[in-house]
Structure 1
Amino acid sequence: MKTIEAAVNSKKNIIVFGAGAWGRRLVSEHAMRIEYFVDNAPEKQGTWVGNIPVKHPDQLVEADKDQTVVIIANQRHGVEIARQLESMGFERGRNYMAYLPEDPPQPACAPQLRFLRYNVTYRCNSRCSTCSVWKEQGGYELSPEAFGALLEAPEFSGLEILYITGGEPTLRQDFADYIRQAVLHLPRLSTVITVTNGLLADRALTIMKQCHEITSSRGIRFDVFVSVDGLGEIHDRARGVPGSYDKAMRVVKALSASGVPVSASTTLSTINVWHADELRLFFLRQGLAANFKVGQDDSFFNKNGLADGIFSYSSDQFYQLKLFFVKIFSHTQEGSFAWFTAYNTLMMLQEKPRRLTCGYRKHQVAALMQNGTVKYCAGRGRESEPVCIDTLGDRLRQEWAKWDFYPHTICEECTGDIGADPSEEMLEEIRDAQYWKVFLSREGFDRHSARFAAYDRGLGKKEGHTVLITGPWGFEDIWQGAQLAAYIRGRSLSSPGARFVVCSTLPFVTQRTVAGLAHVEVVPVYDSAYLARIPVSDELVVFPDEALHPWSRWAIKLAQDAGLPFTRADDLSAVMEAYLLQECPAHAREAIHAVSCWVDADTGTSRALLERARALSVKTSLPCRFYAMNNCCLGPNGDNRDFYFDHVPQVFGEGHPAGVWIDSGLADLRKTVEAMRASDFVLTAGASASRLARAAGITPYEEEEA
């Protein structure tokens, strides 16, 4: 069945997938009778288009596929819907097809506002280092009644989400009245979101519980974000108010116990960047959802540059931010909004353009200030004259028109996500990477490699001798990284003019490993160009680590097909000794009187090391120090620092007991070797940690005992 006419004339039950403009046009254009619409959008399910119901796609599972034709009527997601139908047993051309009009329907009116960001007050009782709004206190503020009157404007009739912020919203004792006005005047309101620093703990609890009662009685979701920027003193320092951490956590626990949806909101800055891993694990143990964002220099939060210093990250701090958002992206539910925003932040930290759309630029978000003015963007725009219900529409159009005078690059530097969606570029990047992850996996190799005898040589052969290097790159610990750097340095001396191409699952990690080495290029593994690079290289070198990685198996197979020589870099002990002598020369250093520990994986052996460390600490009256071997390991339990933050409290007690110190900084070769050489006792768990100690001329304590 290949045409709409054939489907209409088939006498079969017709179901249209897509209840939007295309679906409505399809039914109208062909005057067809259909059983019902289905749609993936939750807000459409259970509604009606005229007299036709809109149902959940799961309804199709029970459909008689011999007597049913599904017509896809969706321009943007047609490919995904086709896959969805095929997973249910539908076959293209037999019982499903696509509707593709020659002139797609256009919206009948301008985009309708869906989000409203309202700053209820500029006043704030925090003294945050990342924000200067508290220095701008005072001025006229709309009353709840005046706010409600503005909400009657027709431009706000379609609002679905209200984000009401400040300053500190609970400084308005009548805050709940603003929520009452929103519920009263916004017929399509589905969600209200607000924030609090919790400093006025009793008032905040009373107000938030009132707001939850008001919204829940109308079936509206109410979400509270409590600002938590660190544990204990770290939070107090970031917020500029002693004791603020205890008050914030009191509000979090009390709201959670009362059934009010509560999450943590964390702004990362130079103050807390080294404590982000510990904070993330703390939230996980508390069962508390958290939103991490990078402190950003914009005209709203940083007026007149008053907070500039807090955004001046060192290269190590900036690298730590990238590592942290790799972790957030990898441990967030795939396809969720938080997953997309983490990906966007990670890309921007790698100096790539913004990957989210802009809700303000799409005219779906309005920013209403406490004094009744509107702005084209909460973070960038300047306040104009206050508006009333009669002038709001004109002022909004004037503000939106300002976008025409500003370059798109101002959005490429913004991490704001209110009203944002993943762009087509982002979706395409993610789909491409996921495809290659599956294709280059062990299962993909077993499935495809036998009939994958050649590959397009479109990249062409470059001049000079090219050495392609594959292995655990992207997740290398400092021992593996030192091996890679030592090998390249040695080969550069024996093969002058050679070019080295290192294939990495996280190129920015490996770029740091090989920084300073000449003629080295780091390329992504999960990319269509990975396999194409192999046959146009001159030589393949494989670092097998403990096991051969599946992408390395692909490289070996294609190298053999192309007749390329390849070697395994197994025994580099002699090279490593020379490398460490050069990079970490022995010299007089201050002794570290401690039991110092290194692990390179979360295993039973590593957990047993903590018990041995505690016993040795008690026996010798020495403190314990814990160091990381890797900075990026994306197993279910995270990296070494996550291991320590998670397991050390279980062995040594909660909090920060005296005599226990965890290095929250980056794992570094020179720092590690010097600490090993200076410590009274060195305990290791894992092959990398033990090999590094021995290569540095140190015998780990457990081996001394043996």
Structure 2
Amino acid sequence: MKKFAKRVFKAVIVRSPFKEKYLKHQNTKYLDHIKAKELNKYNAKEPIISVVNLNANDICNSKCVMCNIWEQKQGFEITPDQLKNILQDPLFKNVKHMGVTGGEPTLREDLPQLYESIIKTLPDIIGLSIITNCIKEKDVIDRIEKVSEICSKHDKAFSMMVSLDGYGKMHDQIRGREGNFESAINVIKHFTQKGIPVSTGSTISKQNVWEMDDLLDFMKANNIYGRFRVAEFIKRLYNDNKAEAIRNFDEDERYNLILFFYKLIFTFETHEAYIRTYKSIINILDGGKRTTGCPYHSDGVVLNSRGEIAYCAPKSEIIGSTLKASALDLYKDNQSEKTRIKENECDSCIHDYHAPISYKELESKFEEDFWKKYIHVQNTNLKSVHKKIAPKKEYKKQAFITGWYGTETVGDKAILAGIINELKESNEEIGFVITSLYPPITKRTVYELGFENVTVIPVYCKEFVEYAKGSDMIIMGGGPLMDLGELALPLISFKIGKYYKKKNIVYGCGIGPLYNPIYEQAVKDILDLSDEIMIRDEKSRQTALKWTNNAKEVKLSGDPAKKYIKSIASQTNVSTKSTILKCFLREWTHEYCKELTHEEFIQKRKLVEFSLSKFVKQKAIELGATEIYLEHMHNFVIGNDDRDFSRHFIKTYFEDFEIPISYNKKLSTVNSIVDSMLNSCHNICMRFHSVVFADTLNTSYTAFDYTGGGKILGYLTDNSKKENLLTISDLLEKNK
């Protein structure tokens, strides 16, 4: 009866005005439960160890740049019988998974017998795994096949991970062993064909930080799954003196890693626990703390080849020998070391241990979920929240800039710089709060532009309302007002601004494309709430005039980026006569050809890409270019990293072309794009702001309008430059 009554109560309450309060109360109860559970496990008098990392040996036949274990000489190693005795200790009675690592575990001839000992001593174990470098291909295959047979005979799950730290020669260079990439791929293929779960493990150090995209391309093309980690100082690897390779990234390398882990999250990894680990790695790279938990807080232990145990592999000192004392007693009697690790090491540890979702993560998720409901285009119940929140003012004169920041292209960076510079011209003391969908991206933008008095905040949080209330003006800062749920950002902030009598400004925006009536209405509401409207193109201006019933002044401001681009150009050295053809291309996506089915679009895209490659080749020959170089207006996965398209474009269409072609695998900035365009014989532009840059810089350029008559055509029309236009139909016609 009680259960029925609870169900009825819940059904009624979720349909009532008290739904949000009820859900918040339930979330709080759940958070308290998770927090208590974590504390209880950590402080348990009797530990329940479910995971063991067994180091089968302390030697290795690799010579990795981030590790010194290969310098060790072979010493004492516990035998399979000794392992049996160790595992009979009460500490191990609840173990459900054991991962066997090294050194290189396949160097042990008795490796299969170690697995036999584990399974016989721990009959309730569920799964076992191994990590191997695959250098001795035949030995690796032989020994792991025997291990797999033993696990299969006892009905235990078995999986393997192959170390893969780069594509081709880069892997061999990192591992210090020529031919290792080939042997690793051979081993992967062998065991994949046998139906054994195989993944790869890739460690990122200073030496391969720019090479991970090539590896990821290869893995995607060959249907290889793997996980990625940042090299860490790990006691069992004796790598304390490897500071030149480990976590020694400069600003560009650090940011490129952040971009790469975002790419893994959005295009590769599907497992929730590993996605959370990647988010934690991003947070640490961005200067924050580890956000995920760790199984070694309370669930795991490390057992090395000498029979010694440690609380974890990266940071724990050895706490004793299980050959001389009870493992359980050693674990319980050395809690001061465990406390030292938790207090001094865990927050900054970037090692990729995975754990169930933690209290910290859940708290953050519930908070973000609440604000996503509030900052929403269809939310009309604003006052009940924002009236209770105090304003936050960090600067004497404060501008709140919102928009698509956090996903910005190089063009968006120039827009932001243009807006900030214009506002600073009228008030030098002004400070800026910029909302960002992905704050690490916008922090990098501010760093590149060199601005001070700028605060970057996440979007879905209390600070969004606090800073909007505390600012003197609310600005929708450039870019298109188009079919995006994120229209909620200017809409909600403008509503707050109007309520508290702030000045709302649409600053240098375009309008469209808009297909969804909900988003069209949101744009109309934004315009209605605006005190000042500055539009970048005439077509959008006419739309704004129509939607405001000609009741407001709508200025044709042009693109805010242009003035900043010119200021950078004035500081740029230009070579007398360049013979390099520069291309600023991007992937053509289905949103620009919605009338086609997916299959039809894929076929047309191949044709467009092929035709574009022919146009590039013909242009290079016509101009007498000595080199073709692909530059990029965007490096972030949201909106597509143009470097990904460049690799595909070169590999697919330019394998045998006589003129050398390459691409910029590093990061793009406003300065680097200006410099590159000015030092070219011609620029082939595809992204909208590459056209804006090329035209503003007065360079020789072709504007390929992939939008089918959208903003590129609008810009060229407004600026009387339609002679530079190349449409899709023109391109296809040229290359029949």
| CA distance 1:500–1:647, shift in 2 (3 Å) | same
Partner of 1:281: 217
Counterpart secondary structure, 1:231 = coil
Corresponding position: 1:458 with 2:377: no
The answer to whether the Cα contact below 8 Å between 2:411 and 2:561 also exists between their aligned partners in 1 is no
Partner of 2:451: 517
Task: Give the CA deviation at 1:647.
Answer: 4.3
The answer to whether the Cα contact below 8 Å between 1:541 and 1:566 also exists between their aligned partners in 2 is yes
Alignment of 1:213-292 (within 5 A): 213-292=149-228
The answer to whether the Cα contact below 8 Å between 2:51 and 2:97 also exists between their aligned partners in 1 is yes
Task: Give the CA deviation at 1:240.
Answer: 1.3
Partner of 1:593: 579
| CA distance 1:684–1:124, shift in 2 (3 Å) | same
Counterpart secondary structure, 2:210 = helix
Counterpart secondary structure, 1:613 = helix
Which amino acid letter does the alignment assign opposite residue 399 of structure 2?
V
Alignment of 1:38-57 (within 5 A): none
Alignment of 1:653-668 (within 5 A): 653=655, 659-668=660-669
* C-alpha separation in 2, matches of 1:216 and 1:155: 26
Corresponding position: 1:626 with 2:558: no
| CA distance 1:453–1:303, shift in 2 (3 Å) | closer
Partner of 1:326: 262
The answer to whether the Cα contact below 8 Å between 2:164 and 2:201 also exists between their aligned partners in 1 is yes
The answer to whether the Cα contact below 8 Å between 2:67 and 2:238 also exists between their aligned partners in 1 is yes
Corresponding position: 1:489 with 2:427: no
Which amino acid letter does the alignment assign opposite residue 226 of structure 2?
A
Task: Give the CA deviation at 1:123.
Answer: 1.2
Partner of 1:498: 430
Task: Give the CA deviation at 1:252.
Answer: 1.4
* C-alpha separation in 2, matches of 1:399 and 1:311: 29
The answer to whether the Cα contact below 8 Å between 2:433 and 2:467 also exists between their aligned partners in 1 is no
Counterpart secondary structure, 1:142 = coil
| CA distance 1:528–1:245, shift in 2 (3 Å) | same
* C-alpha separation in 2, matches of 1:435 and 1:597: 44
Partner of 1:612: 615
The answer to whether the Cα contact below 8 Å between 1:359 and 1:417 also exists between their aligned partners in 2 is no
Which amino acid letter does the alignment assign opposite residue 141 of structure 1?
E
- 1:527-548 CA-to-partner distances (Å, cap 9, x unmatched) read 1221332233211221241234
Corresponding position: 1:699 with 2:700: yes
1:166 to 71, 78, 102: 102
Corresponding position: 1:471 with 2:403: yes
Partner of 1:22: none
Partner of 2:493: 555
The answer to whether the Cα contact below 8 Å between 1:477 and 1:600 also exists between their aligned partners in 2 is no
The answer to whether the Cα contact below 8 Å between 1:489 and 1:517 also exists between their aligned partners in 2 is no
Task: Give the CA deviation at 1:424.
Answer: 0.6
Task: Give the CA deviation at 1:691.
Answer: 0.9
Task: Give the CA deviation at 1:623.
Answer: 3.8
Which amino acid letter does the alignment assign opposite residue 369 of structure 1?
N
The answer to whether the Cα contact below 8 Å between 1:119 and 1:164 also exists between their aligned partners in 2 is yes
Counterpart secondary structure, 2:681 = strand
The answer to whether the Cα contact below 8 Å between 1:130 and 1:302 also exists between their aligned partners in 2 is no
1:202 to 117, 138, 149: 138
* C-alpha separation in 1, matches of 2:250 and 2:395: 37
| CA distance 1:491–1:484, shift in 2 (3 Å) | same
Task: Give the CA deviation at 1:301.
Answer: 2.4
* C-alpha separation in 1, matches of 2:252 and 2:576: 24
Alignment of 1:54-69 (within 5 A): none
Corresponding position: 1:408 with 2:343: yes
* C-alpha separation in 2, matches of 1:392 and 1:454: 56
| CA distance 1:692–1:219, shift in 2 (3 Å) | farther
Task: Give the CA deviation at 1:229.
Answer: 0.9
- Where in structure 2 are there 5+ consecutive unaligned residues? 15-21, 24-28, 509-535, 537-556, 590-604, 704-722, 727-736
The answer to whether the Cα contact below 8 Å between 2:395 and 2:431 also exists between their aligned partners in 1 is no
1:645 to 647, 659, 669: 647
Corresponding position: 1:565 with 2:497: no
The answer to whether the Cα contact below 8 Å between 2:401 and 2:476 also exists between their aligned partners in 1 is yes
Which amino acid letter does the alignment assign opposite residue 336 of structure 1?
E
Partner of 2:684: 683
The answer to whether the Cα contact below 8 Å between 1:112 and 1:155 also exists between their aligned partners in 2 is yes
Task: Give the CA deviation at 1:401.
Answer: 4.2
Alignment of 1:355-374 (within 5 A): 355-362=291-298, 364-374=299-309
* C-alpha separation in 2, matches of 1:682 and 1:452: 53
* C-alpha separation in 2, matches of 1:568 and 1:162: 58
Counterpart secondary structure, 1:448 = coil
* C-alpha separation in 2, matches of 1:224 and 1:420: 19
Counterpart secondary structure, 1:223 = strand
Task: Give the CA deviation at 1:269.
Answer: 1.0
- Where in structure 1 are there 5+ consecutive unaligned residues? 1-5, 8-13, 15-65, 73-78, 84-90, 93-97
- 1:487-541 CA-to-partner distances (Å, cap 9, x unmatched) read 2122112122222111111222212222321322111112122133223321122
- 1:199-246 CA-to-partner distances (Å, cap 9, x unmatched) read 111221222222222223333221211111111121111111122111
Partner of 1:126: 62
* C-alpha separation in 2, matches of 1:264 and 1:626: 30
| CA distance 1:531–1:258, shift in 2 (3 Å) | same
Higher helix share: 2
Task: Give the CA deviation at 1:310.
Answer: 4.3
Counterpart secondary structure, 1:630 = coil
- 1:103-158 CA-to-partner distances (Å, cap 9, x unmatched) read x9988961211011111011111110011111123211112222223222222121
- 1:318-357 CA-to-partner distances (Å, cap 9, x unmatched) read 1111222222233466672111211211111122222222
* C-alpha separation in 2, matches of 1:428 and 1:156: 33
| CA distance 1:126–1:71, shift in 2 (3 Å) | farther
Counterpart secondary structure, 2:682 = strand
Name which of structure 1's ranges 484-493 and 462-471 shifts more when overlaid on structure 2. 462-471
Partner of 1:530: 464
Counterpart secondary structure, 1:535 = helix
Partner of 1:21: none
Partner of 2:366: 431
The answer to whether the Cα contact below 8 Å between 1:115 and 1:160 also exists between their aligned partners in 2 is yes
- CA-based RMSD of the aligned residues comes to 3.3
2:237 to 301, 304, 309: 301
| CA distance 1:255–1:276, shift in 2 (3 Å) | same
1:446 to 373, 378, 392: 378
Task: Give the CA deviation at 1:403.
Answer: 2.1
Partner of 1:11: none
| CA distance 1:360–1:439, shift in 2 (3 Å) | same
| CA distance 1:532–1:602, shift in 2 (3 Å) | farther
Counterpart secondary structure, 1:701 = strand
- What is the TM-score when the length of structure 1 is the normalising length? 0.79
| CA distance 1:222–1:141, shift in 2 (3 Å) | same
Identity of aligned residues (%): 22
* C-alpha separation in 2, matches of 1:335 and 1:289: 11
| CA distance 1:567–1:404, shift in 2 (3 Å) | closer
Partner of 2:734: none
* C-alpha separation in 1, matches of 2:572 and 2:392: 46
Task: Give the CA deviation at 1:624.
Answer: 2.9
- 1:543-577 CA-to-partner distances (Å, cap 9, x unmatched) read 24123442122222332333322222214658644
Corresponding position: 1:180 with 2:184: no
* C-alpha separation in 2, matches of 1:609 and 1:475: 26
| CA distance 1:436–1:600, shift in 2 (3 Å) | farther
- 1:445-498 CA-to-partner distances (Å, cap 9, x unmatched) read 124368879543413556622111111111111111012112212211212222
Partner of 1:42: none
| CA distance 1:688–1:216, shift in 2 (3 Å) | farther
| CA distance 1:409–1:611, shift in 2 (3 Å) | farther
